[in-house]
Amino acid sequence: EKSRSREFGGSGLGLSIARGIVQAHGGSIRVQGGSTGAAIAFRIPVAS
């Protein structure tokens, strides 16, 4: 399907949705991009 082509790159909606979920739970998200891919790390506080 042409609409799912990765030919033009981009992060799509996935990172935006993930950021919203993590922030809604009081956490933080970090993305490090590289020439061959990206690393995504997030932190969400645990309930005490």
User: Residue 35 has what pLDDT?
Assistant: 84
pLDDT 10s digits, 11-44: 568 888 999 999 999 999 998 888 888 899 999 9
Quick one: DSSP state of residue 23?
Answer: H
* 31 Cβ contact list (under 8 Å, min separation 6): 15, 38, 39, 40
Tell me the pLDDT band of 1, cut-offs 50, 70 and 90.
low
Domain parsing of the chain, residue ranges: 9-43
